[in-house]
Amino acid sequence: MRVIIALALLVSAGCTSSTVIRSSDPDARIYVNGEYLGMGRAHYSDEKVAFSRNEVEIKKDGCQSEHYSFRRNEEADIGAIIGGIFFTIPYLWITEYKDRHNYDYRCEPENI
Higher pLDDT, 23 or 16: 23
What is the CATH classification number for the domain harbouring 60?
2.60.40
Contact 21, 37 (CB under 8 A): yes
Residue 31 maps to a domain? yes
Residue 112 maps to a domain? no
Q: In whole angstroms, what is the distance from residue 56 CA to residue 72 CA? A: 13
Residue 109 maps to a domain? no
Q: How many domains does the chain have?
A: 1
Whether the predicted pLDDT of 10 surpasses 60:
no
Asked whether the whole model's pTM tops 0.85, one would answer no
Listed in sequence order, the residues at least 6 apart from 37 whose beta carbon sits closer than 8 Å to its beta carbon are 21, 30, 31, 43, 44
Instruction: Identify the domain containing residue 90 by its residue range.
Output: 2-103
Residue 108 maps to a domain? no
pLDDT of residue 59: 96
Whether the predicted pLDDT of 9 surpasses 60:
no
Higher pLDDT, 45 or 110: 45
